[in-house]
Structure 1
């Protein structure tokens, strides 16, 4: 592993963070160096600290420990992510015989210089009990390959000799901090501590010394693995010659891991697919169901991916349907195994715990790759990252011996750690969290407003529009990791590609808003036939193409789905010279009902929104001026020409789409959004 220290960059950090002091500036710099390497730190893992002096708001000066705070990513940390904790009470704590995790957190928070700071790391006391100015901690995969062995102590001594202390496994917290400090006291000449089944600490008088020692130790571990490793896996011989693609099976898996909450209701997950030559070597091993089910490489990973993956059978490209049934059964067996794991380990003491959802966060498909799952795209990506690093770590451990992680009962303690359980009770989930919505015409007025509202309500949105650049711009503006795709809804291949993009990004689709359309004018009796056919292509057949793709995905997921159509008041109350627009819209209204009729049996809800006089691409400023002039009213009067005498906006239409999407027992409905138009009211 390359040493990334750079004198010029370190000096720049001092200049950038000079307001925080040189100690904290350099601490921030080397924390980022460590945090940006996934083989060292993954999503909240690892921590660093520096002992220095600061002045509080009253002008009193204290010796403090600036240590990584909860919620900060080491790769992007800023000085506020290293809250200052008074050293004196931390050091006094070492004399205690015991200290619960809750009391430890309270002690650390009560000792903060700034009470508004994030919670200091759970390993704050370990940093405090070591005398060095700078302390670094990572979960290096190379180190884990050494400590995830049955004879880890002997192997660490062989690789590092007396330069590293060895700390037997103890869960993070007060007891670990005391044990690590005791190991250091036995040999104060060590350059670091290796924590069994956990990771590595290095320390020094300067930021560079602590960092250099970290990289040097990791390089020694990597060199040992390279020099002594053997091919870790024997390849299996029964893989299909033509395996299915991730695109073919992701919706099946996404549906299989959706947690049923009640009739027709689910907690849905997002998919993140990973494959590479290294991953394929791992998942194609003949003994996969042995080494992949032993556990995770370090206990903190249980928080992200539980203790083991679900292993699925290989999937031939020409037999996805049969494979899908086996995949669902495999997930069902996984959930049963997880519940049994919880019940067995929960019964070991009297602590009150709430079981987590039993769904897997990793799925292995031999011959293809690994799928990570999460309730959001971000957490799915974290699962994917963890899965990729975990598989490489197991490979290294198997290469030099036999992967030997902590037993299930120890992993359970951290997965159901009281501090993590407390977070669950305060965690807020938005109504559409875990769901994926696709909006056609997504860059237009109604489409963009709808996409924004759905993203705000928790959905990941695929903004599909003829103008791909505009779609991408809308997706970026609404956030929530939404994506924009170019889509010509009159082209079947383009529509298929938009849905494929949704599957590639998120694993599937749950809500489809078929919104794209355009108004065509002309007296119906003299209308050019080509105009009417063009209008039907966009305002009817395009909706059919979108709906067909939606149902295709819904069938694979087997968790129902929502199909919504923008039909316009013209479908109910035709206007003179707008027959070319109204006739296909009327057909689309009945199309929505046909989908409700035929696919309600698989949980698909299909309804329409009937809107009127919305400022958008269909009703632009010039048309508003023309229509108001023709009726002899002002533009304001024209736009508010309804029973409520109020203009209806794209945001109101978006709200109607959202209401229908969340109306769990509504289908074949038409929701009117026009401020009140008796002529367009349904009987």
Structure 2
């Protein structure tokens, strides 16, 4: 690791933020340098600050502390992520003997210079009680490898040597700030303070000085570790690495996801999104001799417990001959044992408190599966991603720690205090649960306009969406559009041919190995040709039937084993057509293939109800485009359909709008909202057909 500080970049930041004080612009710059190095901080961890003299509305000079806001990420933080607080009032708090957390937070709010700014970091008082202009705080992996030892203090002293002080772990807040102030007053020459099992603070008169002190001391720790490990391999595993086969892994993950799903106090099914690291490195970890240690030792630093629980769940090695029933028995028993141990842990520690606590769910967030790798789950894809990143750093740090000594995490009681911190408890139940949160939605025909409208609606409802199609370029275009609007964490694509059952099965396995399983299948792939029966070639007829009927059959059939393994119900929603009830001349291949798909879907509704899987249909009509994505079907047949009616292509939209009772244009997002309605199970409905056509009397379901 070396300093990435670049004078030209620093000057560019000053120019970019020319309306800000130069000190704050440089604070943003070095915060980015820290935040983009995952060996220093992860996903909103750490904090940075700067103190600046400014005038208030009365023209009076006062010192303002700008500090990272709670929940902000140093990797991409901007000016709005640094709430300002009047320092004088904060510093007065250092004269108190005690200050509870809720009163402290109230004091932070009282001294903010902008009421709508984010809440300052819970470690604000540490920054306020130290006099330095710039302060940086990280949870550097190398520092934690040394502090999380039975002789952590001695190792830190040996490694960092220079002008540092060392404190035991103290919960973030007022008492930590008091301890930091006291140790600095006794040692005014120091450049850094190490908090055992927590991290490191560095400080300086300039942004560069504080940042480069951070790099220097973390490097000292890094070099100490390297010297003691030398050329030894710190991980021991079999010489031959045997991965679990791809489809077997998918079966295991689907069963695991089902075992974790539960009903909350309101009766709402809570599902988890997964993230999987099956890289060679993590597969080696899963097969290593250290795997037992990894699963029985606690988190690197207490704030991780909120994201990952204290321990991962280590699943046993599986026989490749095991059937689904055997796998279910093993996995469900492992999850049950984990949750029972969590319940005991909660009861043991909650009984020591003088106030009631709201118990969190007892389910693991991190998993080690021999031959598969390391997995993590969360209620959202972002939560799963954060848990997985923390898990991977934790695994590597623990193995290094064992390579130089004996890894030791904090006592259970301290970790419980962090997991059930009163400030975290106050947040429970305040977030709004989106209707499809935790669900994974697959949409076939994913490169078309209809899929775009559906995808937008299900993402906004909280789901992860996976688009499948044979059109690779079209999928990439859709993915770019959706990522631009919603970010990367909720969009994926897979190449899939719905006319090939093996392709569909492989696609579902790929979705599982990336996201955990499937909750909603939207059968949307479809094509059309125009031609009267006399003129229609058998080849064209069979091609349309193969996509529109056989494709829906394959899409449904391949999903059944997935739904069975998960055991948590699900939804299949077939994009049918108004032509099922109102066929058109010269459109026979399309109309009868859609009618067949409609019928097989109704049969699926009857057959799959015992699994809790609902099958419903949407009869949409005349959806021509979504944004700048045209309907491929209408591109192919629109001109011929209009010609048969004696109209031009330019008259198509208006013709279809005028022919429905409501005189409304039907959009892909109209269809998307119907998908959300069915998928969110607002009514006990299966086997239903919902027209999305503006009202066409001869297409009324009957």
Same fold at TM > 0.5:
yes
Contact 2:134–2:210 at 8 Å: present in 1 too? yes
Q: Name the structure 2 match of 1:243.
A: 244
Q: SS in structure 2 opposite 1:364?
A: strand
Q: Distance in 2 between matches of 1:130 and 1:176?
A: 12
1:612, distance to aligned residue in structure 2 (A): 3.0
The one of 552, 557, 564 aligned to 1:555: 564
Correspondence 1:626 to 2:643 = yes
Residue of structure 2 aligned with 1:269, choices 258, 268, 272: 272
Structure 1 Cα separation of the partners of residues 475 and 426 of structure 2 = 40
**Residue 628 of structure 2 aligns with which residue?**
none
Matched position secondary structure for 2:19: helix
Counterpart in 2 of 1:101? 101
Pick the aligned partner of 2:303 from 294, 300, 320.
300
1:169-220 per-residue CA deviation (whole Å, 9 max, x = no partner) reads: 1100000100111111121111211111111111112222222221111111
Mapped to 2, the partners of 1:185 and 1:613 lie a distance apart of: 75
Q: How does 1:138-287 map to 2 (within 5 A)?
A: 138-161=138-161, 163-229=163-229, 235=236, 241=242, 243-245=244-246, 246-261=249-264, 266-276=269-279, 278-286=281-289
1:648-659 equivalence runs, <5 A: 648-659=666-677
Are 1:427 and 2:431 counterparts?
yes
Alpha-carbon contact 1:69-1:120 (below 8 Å) kept: yes
CA 1:238/1:211 → structure 2, altered by over 3 Å: closer, same or farther? closer
In structure 2, the partner of 1:127 is: 127
Judge conservation of contact 2:501–2:558 (CA < 8 Å) in 1.
Answer: no
Contact 2:295–2:312 (CA<8 Å) still a contact in 1? yes
Cα pair 2:443 2:521 within 8 Å, conserved: yes
Change (3 A) 1:654 1:214: closer
Q: What do the CA deviations read for 1:466-521 (whole angstroms, capped 9, x no partner)?
A: 43322332333332531234433334454345434423432221111111112233
Gapped runs of 5+ residues in structure 2?
Answer: 625-630
**C-alpha distance in structure 2 between counterparts of 1:18 and 1:652, whole Å:** 45
| In structure 1, C-alpha distance between the alignment counterparts of 2:169 and 2:88, rounded to whole Å | 27
Deviates more, 1:12-21 or 1:253-262: 253-262
- State the alpha-carbon separation in 2 of the partners of residues 241 and 494 from structure 1: 25
Please report how far the alpha carbon of residue 318 of structure 1 lies from its aligned counterpart in structure 2 after TM superposition. Answer: 4.3
Deviation (angstroms), 1:238: 12
In 2, Cα distance between equivalents of 1:420 and 1:454: 29
Query: What is the CA distance between 1:60 and its match in structure 2?
Result: 3.2
Q: By how many angstroms is 1:125 displaced?
A: 0.7
Query: How much does 1:582 deviate?
Result: 1.7
User: Where does residue 352 of structure 1 map in the other structure?
Assistant: 356
| Structure 1 residues 411-450: aligned runs within 5 Å | 411-450=415-454
* Matching residue of 1:376: 380
Match of 2:659, SS? coil
CA distance in 2, matches of 1:386, 1:568: 47
CA contact (8 A) 1:625 1:635 kept: no
Report the Cα distance in structure 1 between the residues aligned to 2:39 and 2:381, rounded to whole angstroms. 22
Task: State the aligned residue count.
Answer: 682
Q: CA deviation at 1:162?
A: 6.1
Q: Deviations over 1:245-295 (max 9, x none)?
A: 444533233223222349995211111112445544543343533443221
Shift, 1:239, TM fit: 9.6
Question: Are 1:574 and 2:583 counterparts?
Answer: yes
Q: How does 1:572-611 map to 2 (within 5 A)?
A: 572-611=581-620
Q: Determine if contact 1:473/1:484 at 8 Å carries over to the other structure.
A: no
CA distance in structure 1 between the partners assigned to 2:411 and 2:341 by the alignment: 15
Partner-residue secondary structure (3-state), 2:602: helix
Aligned twin of 1:532: 541
**Alpha carbons of 1:264 and 1:472: their partners in 2 closer, same or farther (altered >3 Å)?**
farther
CA deviation after TM superposition for structure 1 residue 9, in Å = 2.0
1:22 aligns with 2:22: yes
Distance (whole Å) between structure 2 residues aligned to residue 261 and residue 69 of structure 1: 31
**Root mean square deviation, CA, Å:** 2.7
Deviations 1:372-429 (A, max 9, x none): 1112222211111000001111112212221111112111111111222222332222
Cα distance in 2 for partners of 1:351, 1:100 equals 14
Report the equivalent of 2:528. 519
Could you tell me which residue of structure 2 aligns to residue 401 of structure 1? 405
**How far 1:42 moved relative to its partner?**
0.9
* Cα pair 1:640 1:648 within 8 Å, conserved: no
Structure 2 CA distance for partners of 1:483 and 1:280, relative to 1, 3 Å: closer
In structure 2, what is the Cα distance between the partners aligned to 1:74 and 1:352? 34
CA distance in 2, matches of 1:99, 1:28: 30
How far, CA to CA, are the matches of 2:525 and 2:445 in structure 1? 4
How big is the shift at 1:609? 1.5
* TM-score calculated relative to the size of structure 2: 0.91
2:623 and 2:278 mapped to 1: Cα distance?
A: 46
In the aligned structure 1, how far is the partner of 2:241 from the partner of 2:223?
36
Instruction: Please give the secondary structure, in 1, of the residue aligned with 2:427.
Output: helix
Q: Contact 1:438/1:509 (CA < 8 Å) preserved in 2?
A: yes
Aligned pair in 2 of structure 1 residues 264, 522: CA closer, same or farther (>3 Å)?
farther
2:291 equivalent to 1:288: yes
SS in 1 for 2:410: coil
CA contact (8 A) 1:68 1:83 kept: yes
Contact map agreement 1:312 1:363 (CA 8 A) in 2 = yes
Residues 559-586 of structure 1 deviation map (CA, whole Å, 9 limit, x = unaligned): 2221111221222233233222222211
Displacement of 1:309 in angstroms is: 0.8
Tell me what 1:387 maps to: 391
Match of 2:550 in 1: 541
d(CA) in 1 for partners of 2:701, 2:83: 62
Kept after mapping to 2: 8 A contact 1:486/1:498: yes
1:85 pairs with 2:85: yes
Give the equivalent residue in structure 2 for 1:671: 690
CA–CA distance in structure 1, aligned partners of residues 510 and 278 of structure 2: 18
Instruction: Give, in whole Å, the separation in 2 of the partners of 1:531 and 1:601.
Output: 37
On the 8 A contact 1:513/1:565 being kept in 2, the answer is: yes
In structure 1, runs of 5+ residues without a counterpart are: none
State the Cα distance separating 1:17 from its structure 2 match: 2.4
Q: Summarize deviations over 1:40-72 as a string: whole Å, max 9, x none.
A: 101111111112212334543311111111121
Q: Aligned pair in 2 of structure 1 residues 608, 421: CA closer, same or farther (>3 Å)?
A: same
SS at match of 2:255: helix
Partners of 2:235 and 2:399 within 8 A in 1:
no
TM-score, normalised relative to structure 1: 0.93
CA contact (8 A) 2:27 2:207 kept: yes
Q: Which residue of 2 aligns with 1:681?
A: 700
**Residue among 627, 636, 640 paired with 2:654:** 636
Per the TM alignment, residue 541 of structure 1 is displaced from its structure 2 partner at its CA by 0.6
Displacement after TM superposition at 1:237 (Å): 6.6
